[in-house]
Structure 1
Amino acid sequence: MKREQEALLAIVSEEESGILDEWIKESGVPESRRRAVTDEATQLLRAFRAGLRAGADPAVLRDERWADLTHSLQALSSSRAAQGQKAGDTSRFVLAFKRPLLALAQKRLAADPALLMDTVWAISALVDQMAQLTVTTYQETREAVITRQQEELLELSTPVIKLWTGVLAVPMIGTLDSSRTQMVMEALLQKIVETESGLAIIDITGVPTVDTLVAQHLLKTVSAIRLMGADCIISGIRPQIAQTIVHLGIDLQGIMTKATLADALALALERTGWRIVAQAA
């Protein structure tokens, strides 16, 4: 173990209480959160000390002997991110750990300038890496949350609804892209199998624009439905969309289309052998 590692280990082993007090004071946390933050700081300090005892290199946080410390930092950052706290708040909290360590190093090692310099460098290098790890973890946590929310929104925006016996409907809202089309296709085909439905309505009333790519996605979905032995009606063909399809030269021949979902349902019922009659007054 290098001299600066031994010096730093002696500091955190013999001055734990004082380090914690100065760390919490430097972090500037409100009184209401002081107890929780003290628990967080205590856990980090003990993991810090355990890494030093194992001989971990302060310049390399990726050293496996820092595993307990990195896990604690990641858990801290993830927990705070879930609570809505900012990455900068967690980073500043970790950086506040540097001040009491530097003060104690200066006090205890003033008689040995070379050792003091090496210890200061070790403290700065390690604590800076710790702060950076919390920022990286925060970003990864937020990205994971955003990705999960996007997936949930996609699922919510593409429900497969059973309108009638043997008739399913998928109301499309928003822009169609490859990933969303694939999700719709999988959900619709699975529902066709589960309900043994023979007809599916894809309603594009909520799709703002139809271009060549969107049309190709729709045609692929219709083809997949037909391979399952079912048929398909596309509803929501507004005048603007009809003109766009014609201008683009998109061939929808052989595919049933209707202007509204109501018209599509009426056609679906007719195709499946149902007839709705108004009740006499």
Structure 2
Amino acid sequence: MIHFSDIVSGALQGEQQATVLQQWLQAASAAGLQKTKAMEGEAQAIANALGQALRSGARVDAFGESAWAELHQVLADLSRSRAAQGQSAGDTSVFVLALKKPLLDVLQRELSGADAAAVASSFWELTQMVDRMAQLTATTFQKAREDIIVRQQEELLELSTPVVKLWEGVLAVPMIGTLDSNRTQVVMETLLQRIVETGSELAIIDITGVPTVDTLVAQHLLKTVTAIRLMGADCIISGIRPQIAQTIVHLGIDLQGIVTKATLADALAVAMQQSGWQVTRKA
């Protein structure tokens, strides 16, 4: 009796493969997916890898073995590519699951004279195989989307905490929004790196745009100031509004030894004085 693997691998090469691919894309379109050139290429790559795996003796009940490695890679590349393009995990899984219909048709045709047990066994094996392929794409897609989200969050953190060189020896970091541990870490790393690159001796951290200051935010600020001082530079914290000043006093947070100013303008005046610059109004 012809084995399931021989039937399916045979259908995935030569002229039979072209027929299977055409029926696969038709099934995908019937499921609501738009047929594209990219989809045709994806289907071709999956069919080639699947056929190769089955011809090399890959077993459906051991889908994690190395014999399936090439197919795993093709499916992973498919998921990552679609995730990067903003497509959905559902559409990706539906596309892979659409392969069931043409392969079931092949099995039905090739096993037309076989006993019911053999037909049921082959159908079940095919169902398991395609389901595991779809599950792999969904898992990889989710991981790829999570990686993209994490990377975008990191990029947004960097964009939301710019380090500006005001003039020779003076840097400024305007803080806007909530100050948490991750953002503080980005600020420290970016600011310390810029201090090294520019040889600056003074950094202004402006918290005018920070809505509230609690114990955690104050601790983050103190850690940043400590790190700056360890690099041999000094720091000024500006944007200390009346409400923030009252909160700091109420929380018992000690900012002694740290220069604080109510506005960025005041901090700039101190920075100019310390760096020896003087601004005069033109007569």
* TM-score class, shorter: over 0.9
SS at match of 2:64: coil
Partner of 1:220: 223
Aligned twin of 1:128: 131
Deviations 1:144-167 (A, max 9, x none): 111111111111111111112211
Give yes or no for contact 2:29–2:35 (8 Å, CA) kept in 1. Answer: no
User: 2:55 is matched with which residue?
Assistant: 53
SS of residue in 1 equivalent to 2:62: coil
Q: TM-score with structure 1 length normalisation? A: 0.93
CA distance in 2, matches of 1:231, 1:36: 56
Tell me the CA shift for residue 4 of structure 1.
2.8
Please list, as runs of the form range in 1=range in 2, the aligned pairs for 1:175-190 lying within 5 A after superposition: 175-190=178-193
Q: Is the 8 A contact 1:8 1:119 kept in 2?
A: no
TM-score (norm 2): 0.93
- Offset at 1:32? 7.5
Alignment CA distance shift 1:255-1:31 (3 Å)? closer
| Partner Cα distance (2:233, 2:51) in 1 | 66
Q: Measured at CA, do residues 260 and 100 of structure 1 come closer, stay the same or move farther in structure 2, by a change above 3 Å? A: same
Shift of 1:34: 4.1
Aligned partner of residue 59 in structure 1, secondary structure: helix
CA distance in 1, matches of 2:79, 2:222: 46
Q: Could you tell me which amino acid in structure 1 is paired with residue 165 of structure 2?
A: K
Q: Residue 272 of structure 2 aligns to a residue in which SS?
A: helix
- The CA distance in 2 between the partners of 1:125 and 1:32, in whole Å, is 26
**Counterpart position of 1:6:** 6
| Superposed displacement of residue 179, structure 1 | 2.2
* CA displacement at 1:110 relative to structure 2: 2.7
For 1:32 and 1:223, how far apart are their aligned partners in 2?
57
Spell out, residue by residue over 1:59-95, the C-alpha distance to the aligned partner (whole angstroms, 9 max, x if none).
3321211111111111112222222211111111110
* 2:28 equivalent in structure 1: 27
SS at structure 1 position matched to 2:172: strand
- Counterpart CA distance in 1 for 2:13 and 2:230 is 71
Q: What is the deviation of 1:227?
A: 1.8
The one-letter amino acid of 2:104's match is L
Matched position secondary structure for 1:232: strand
Root-mean-square deviation (Å)? 1.9
Alignment of 1:1-281 (within 5 A): 3-13=3-13, 15-28=16-29, 33-112=35-114, 113-280=116-283
Tell me the distance in 2 between the aligned counterparts of 1:118 and 1:31: 30
Instruction: Tell me the CA shift for residue 263 of structure 1.
Output: 0.8
Amino acid at match of 2:21: L
Residue 261 of structure 1 deviates from its aligned partner by 0.7
The number of residues matched between the two structures is 279
Hey, what's the Cα distance between the residues in 2 that align with 1:6 and 1:229? 72
Distance 1:244 1:202 in 2: 18
C-alpha distance after superposition, 1:254-280 (max 9, x if no partner): 111111111100011112222211111
Aligned AA for 2:227? A
Distance 1:223 1:84 in 2: 42
Supply the distance in 2 between the matched residues of 1:31 and 1:270 (Cα, whole angstroms): 66
Residues 115 and 172 of structure 1: CA distance in aligned 2, closer, same or farther (over 3 Å): same
- The 1:48/1:214 distance shift into structure 2, 3 A limit, reads same
Kept after mapping to 2: 8 A contact 1:3/1:115? no
CA distance in 2, matches of 1:96, 1:108: 20
- CA shift, 1:111, in A, is 2.1
Question: Residues 31, 249 of structure 1: CA spacing in aligned structure 2 closer, same or farther, 3 A cutoff?
Answer: closer
